[in-house]
């Protein structure tokens, strides 16, 4: 049999802008926007090889250990690994009982996944505007949006800075609403000393390749302190599978009477049962062993990874501070910012030029690649057609995305020279467009 060599390089990314930011447009970049947000070394290599040698390749001992270690690290009672953050949020949405006709209040400044899991259950996303400084959902706007149909509030800790959770939780308690924390950006983030994913009814994390910790490109984790939710969450991510009720002494199927079940008779009446949870059916949202093994290695590095991001973020803040018309990232004094994103804002009225003019010069002439996150979700065609959201629904969010914000490259592999080149590029671009 002839042996063929595997190819390990390719040109274009299959997912386009959602899987890489290489433009191939001839621009010579000094600091590109990397699509890998972490650091891998021998620890991850050893972890993958060890997992490959196991008999169990999915939902085995590595997943169990990763869940236990993650729960301990994030100060929660329960953690359940999933294939990615979106599937984790969908499992959580089902476990919370969100259904057709319900409304869920959510931020418009987030990846489509946060709203998608609501839409998949037939519920309506109701968008509350953001705080123009933190870019997080504004608690005052949440209260305005509550109706008799409201069942939950979904918050996103944008860029690695947590939302103002105390007033949000007070609103939720007052109106008997669930709170889901989308923690895709928030590994290592704190709010008044409390960790992301430990405050709401459910938290969900992402280990996508851009995030603060990465499990081979995809991966997620559900967190909760609610003992009543954990069984439903488990079934929603593993195809509604459960154990047969051990209290049953006899089983009759198709007229065949089975022997009495004992602890030794694992096969009676079958290896597992499948049940529904108030009409909700689970799916295969499991994590494989290699991902979990890498996750365990990344979890041990998380403090170092976040420290590097914070160092880069503070260096950028100090270097950009004072540039007329440019606003560096704001840090809420109640929060410990994990700097998943570094977001600066252009103030067109002060700068004397638009955000797009500035971004164009920064990219084409200064070689610094900026990226935009995120278009208000209700402007996507599918949502506009279905719900006909009104114009200027969330003015702060719309101004933020279309006129003010851009994200500079941010990852723990950036050097001081990289950061200084970004600062110089921002200064130069501001001067050029101001002229």
Q: Which residues on adjacent β-strands are paired with residue 242?
A: 273
| pLDDT score for 1 | 52
Q: What is the mean pLDDT of each run of 10 residues along the chain (435 residues)?
A: 62 68 90 97 98 94 98 98 98 98 98 98 98 98 98 98 98 98 98 98 98 98 97 96 73 76 77 92 97 98 98 98 98 98 98 98 98 97 95 97 98 98 98 92
In whole angstroms, how far apart are CA 229 and each of 74, 174, 312?
18, 20, 39
Q: How many CA atoms lie within 13 A of 305 on its CB side?
A: 24
> Structure tokens of 159?
């860029």
Cβ proximity of 433 and 361 under 8 Å: yes
Domains of the chain from N-terminus onward: 29-37+302-434 (3.90.1150.10), 42-241+276-293 (3.40.640.10)
Name the residue among 298, 243, 293, 302 with its Cα closest to residue 64.
Answer: 293
pTM higher than 0.85, yes or no? yes
| pLDDT score for 11 | 56
Residue 321: enclosing H or E segment and its boundaries? none
């Amino acid at each position: 049999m002839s042996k063929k060599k595997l190819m390990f390089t390719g040109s274009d990314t299959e997912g386009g802008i959602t899987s890489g930011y290489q433009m191939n447009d001839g621009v010579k970049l000094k600091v590109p926007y990397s699509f890998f947000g972490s650091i891998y070394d021998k620890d991850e290599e050893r972890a993958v090889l060890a997992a490959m040698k196991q008999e169990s390749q999915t939902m085995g001992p590595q997943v169990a250990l990763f869940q236990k270690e993650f729960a301990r690290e994030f100060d929660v009672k329960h953690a359940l690994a999933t294939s990615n953050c979106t599937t984790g949020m969908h499992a959580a949405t089902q476990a919370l009982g969100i259904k057709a006709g319900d409304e869920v209040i959510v931020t418009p400044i987030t990846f489509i996944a946060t709203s998608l899991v609501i839409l998949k259950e037939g519920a309506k996303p109701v968008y509350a505007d953001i705080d123009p400084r933190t870019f997080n959902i504004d608690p005052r706007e949440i209260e305005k949006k509550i109706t008799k149909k409201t069942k939950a509030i979904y918050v996103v800790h944008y860029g690695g800075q947590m939302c103002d959770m105390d007033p949000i939780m007070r609103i939720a308690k007052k109106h008997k609403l669930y709170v889901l924390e989308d923690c895709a950006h928030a590994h290592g983030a704190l709010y008044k000393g409390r960790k992301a994913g430990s405050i709401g009814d459910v938290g969900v994390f992402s280990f996508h390749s851009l995030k603060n910790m990465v499990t081979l490109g995809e991966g997620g984790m559900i967190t909760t302190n609610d003992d009543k939710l954990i069984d439903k969450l488990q079934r929603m991510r593993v195809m509604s599978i459960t154990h047969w009720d051990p209290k049953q002494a006899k089983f009759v199927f198709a007229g065949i009477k089975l022997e009495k079940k004992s602890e030794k008779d694992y096969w009676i009446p079958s290896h597992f049962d499948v049940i529904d949870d108030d009409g909700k059916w689970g799916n295969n949202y499991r994590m494989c062993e290699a991902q979990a093994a890498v996750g365990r290695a990344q979890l041990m590095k998380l403090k170092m990874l976040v420290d590097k991001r914070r160092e880069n973020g503070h260096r950028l803040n100090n270097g950009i501070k004072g540039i007329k018309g440019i606003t560096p990232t704001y840090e809420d004094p109640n929060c410990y910012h994990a700097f998943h994103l570094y977001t600066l804002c252009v103030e067109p009225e002060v700068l004397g030029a638009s955000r797009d003019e500035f971004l164009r010069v920064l990219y084409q002439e200064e070689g610094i690649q900026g990226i935009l996150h995120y278009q208000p979700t209700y402007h996507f065609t599918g949502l506009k057609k279905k719900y006909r959201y009104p114009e200027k629904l969330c003015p702060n969010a719309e101004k933020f995305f279309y006129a003010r914000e851009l994200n500079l490259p941010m990852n723990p592999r950036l050097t001081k020279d990289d950061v200084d080149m970004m600062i110089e590029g921002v200064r130069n671009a501001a001067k050029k467009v101001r002229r």
